[in-house]
Amino acid sequence: MNNLPSFSAPKITVCGTGYLGATHAICMAVMGFDVLGFDVDQHKIAQLRVGKVPFFEPGLPEKLQEALASGRLNFTTSLDEVAQFGDIHFVCVGTPQAIDSAAADLRYVDAAFSELAARITRKALLVGKSTVPIGTAARLTRMVADISPIGSELELAWNPEFLREGFAVKDTLRPDRLVFGVASEWAEAGLRRVFRPILDSGTPLIVTDLATAELVKVAANSFLATKISFINAMAEVCEATSADVTLLAEALSLDARIGGRFLKPGLGFGGGCLPKDIRAFKHRAEELGVGQAVRFLGEVDSINNRRRVRTVDLIRELAGGDLSGVRIAALGAAFKPNSDDVRDAPALDVARLLYLEGAVVTVYDPEANANAHRLYPDLNYVGSLAEAAVQADVVALLTEWEEFRQADPDRLGALVRHRRILDGRHALDPDGYTSTGWEYRALGRPYQPRTASVQQRRDGMAQPDLAHGAAAAEDRLNNLL
């Protein structure tokens, strides 16, 4: 590698300025590199240029200001500029689920690599960060070599990203680990140079081949999804007994081999990564002839979807057995707190299922109302928890924002028509609610009637048909969604 260009002060480009790309570009500039961010979306680039992060991410606006003020961060919509500027090009474009199958849609990745390859005329490194099916990097390596004016001088590496929304800055600057999938020492040296400050702070590094790097990402997300669905499967068992899934999870978490992270039962996982990544992984494994090895991911997905249906069942029970005309305060729309992302959001699915059963659903999310409205304009959206709660027959906590955790049960109770609450995320103190006259229900926890009269009313209404179970729940979800 002696006669190859070294990476003393590499100039960096980042293609795609979504959650991943914008955060990466900003953090690389904060770390001292000259960075050029690219996106085809002119509006996004215009916002970033004036210091506005186009999505909600705590801490990122401050880092953007810092990076812009340093003069090291610029943005463009010209790929020619990108090709000319960079020594190391990171590709951070989206890989959404295909419309007609479980596979990942690779059109943006393919476009980014081929368009860069056609324009770059000096030795450079292309680094994929997007989550892709195993074998994509090898295919792109061949494609790039065919297209590039400099042939195989244009090298390719894969550097999967594990950042969580809501913790994007921390996860980028202080990740748990770095993974470099490389095909040459030169590519490894380039990545080591870029991530030197992070490596110097003691972050573990695993250097792999391209395929293993791709697999690390989907395997990690599959494991996390499986852990969540495991505890939610236990919640289903609890619901058929008098067991309590929150106590079960606590007891399991104290086994150091199991641990408590990603073992929180509730409405399940959503977002732009976990759901589509497990589906794409299963699809790819089937293509590779090893579908059986990850067939369980289909069950992980089903368990997750059933939680949404079961949540609607509990809300219907709270409402007395029929949802038509029932006023519901839906607290939360984002797929998790500290995010405005509503992609595959369990909260919004529940709100929509309630609406389709005739309920009058009023949604409040501290940050995600606008995105949710774009997706489901039929629901009512309001700007505060109090407005959502006014005259509600049932309050449903669907995303565990701190604001909802902190709500005072008695003051909330003064606003509603009936004190009935469904805690979809095990985020509330049941005693605080039941002691102030609320009927409190949660997934996977035994129902404790507030008073005899409540119990009598329950006796008179339709009981949850647990026996009709998983298959029927899935059928209903498929029919409704």
Site string for ligand UDX, 186-215 (x = CB under 6 A): ------------------------------
Residue 108 neighbours by CB distance under 10 Å? 17
Give the separation between CA 147 and CA 421, rounded to whole angstroms. Answer: 59
Minimum Å distance from CB 165 to ligand UDX? 4
Q: Write the Ramachandran bin of 268: left for phi over 0, alpha for psi from -120 to 50, otherwise beta.
A: left
| Strand pairing class (439-442; 12-15) | unpaired
Radius of gyration (C-alpha) of the chain in whole angstroms:
25
- Which of 162, 281, 438, 440 is the binder for ligand UDX (CB under 6 A)? 162
Minimum Å distance from CB 115 to ligand UDX? 25
Sign of CA dihedral 379, 352, 273, 125: negative
Residue 304 neighbours by CB distance under 10 Å? 23
Nearer to ligand UDX, 161 or 393 (CB): 161
Active site residue 15: no
Provide φ and ψ at 90, rounded to 5°. Answer: -95, 130
- Which of 276, 308, 336, 441 is the binder for ligand UDX (CB under 6 A)? 336
Site for ligand UDX in 239-268 (CB under 6 A): 262-264, 266, 268
Burial of residue 233 (number of CB atoms within 10 Å: 0-12, 13-18, 19+) = buried
Helix ranges (H only) for 101-209 are: 107-119, 136-147, 168-173, 185-194, 196-200
According to the binding rule CB under 6 A, does residue 335 interact with ligand UDX?
yes
Which range, of 156-164, 359-367, 390-398, 432-440, touches ligand UDX by CB under 6 A? 156-164
Report how far apart, in Å, the C-alpha atoms of 420 and of each of 343, 408, 436, 440 are.
28, 14, 11, 6
Minimum Å distance from CB 171 to ligand UDX? 7
According to the binding rule CB under 6 A, does residue 444 interact with ligand UDX?
no
Site string for ligand UDX, 293-332 (x = CB under 6 A): ----------------------------------------
Give the interface size with ligand UDX as a residue count (CB under 6 A): 20
According to the binding rule CB under 6 A, does residue 348 interact with ligand UDX?
no
CA angle 163/167/172 to nearest 5° reads 50
According to the binding rule CB under 6 A, does residue 236 interact with ligand UDX?
no
According to the binding rule CB under 6 A, does residue 21 interact with ligand UDX?
no
Nearer to ligand UDX, 33 or 162 (CB): 162
Q: Is-contact 367 299, C-beta < 8 A?
A: no
Mention every residue, 6+ apart, whose C-beta is less than 8 A from residue 415: 386, 389, 390, 391, 392
According to the binding rule CB under 6 A, does residue 269 interact with ligand UDX?
yes
According to the binding rule CB under 6 A, does residue 158 interact with ligand UDX?
no
Nearer to ligand UDX, 92 or 120 (CB): 92
- Which of 11, 49, 164, 458 is the binder for ligand UDX (CB under 6 A)? 164
What strand order describes the sheet that includes 380-381?
380-381, 360-364, 327-331, 394-397, 420-423, 439-442
- Which of 48, 67, 228, 363 is the binder for ligand UDX (CB under 6 A)? 228
According to the binding rule CB under 6 A, does residue 175 interact with ligand UDX?
no
- Which of 39, 165, 236, 393 is the binder for ligand UDX (CB under 6 A)? 165
- Which of 31, 224, 235, 323 is the binder for ligand UDX (CB under 6 A)? 224
- Which of 163, 350, 388, 427 is the binder for ligand UDX (CB under 6 A)? 163
Given the residues 27, 92, 238, 273, the one annotated as active site = 273
Minimum Å distance from CB 130 to ligand UDX? 11
Q: Is-contact 302 472, C-beta < 8 A?
A: no
Residue with tokens 């048909």, as numbered in its chain: 465
Q: Is-contact 177 201, C-beta < 8 A?
A: no
- Which of 128, 270, 366, 424 is the binder for ligand UDX (CB under 6 A)? 270
Provide φ and ψ at 119, rounded to 5°. Answer: -105, -20
Binding region for ligand UDX (CB under 6 A): 161-165, 221, 224, 228, 262-264, 266, 268-271, 273-274, 335-336
- The residues annotated with a catalytic role in the active site are 273
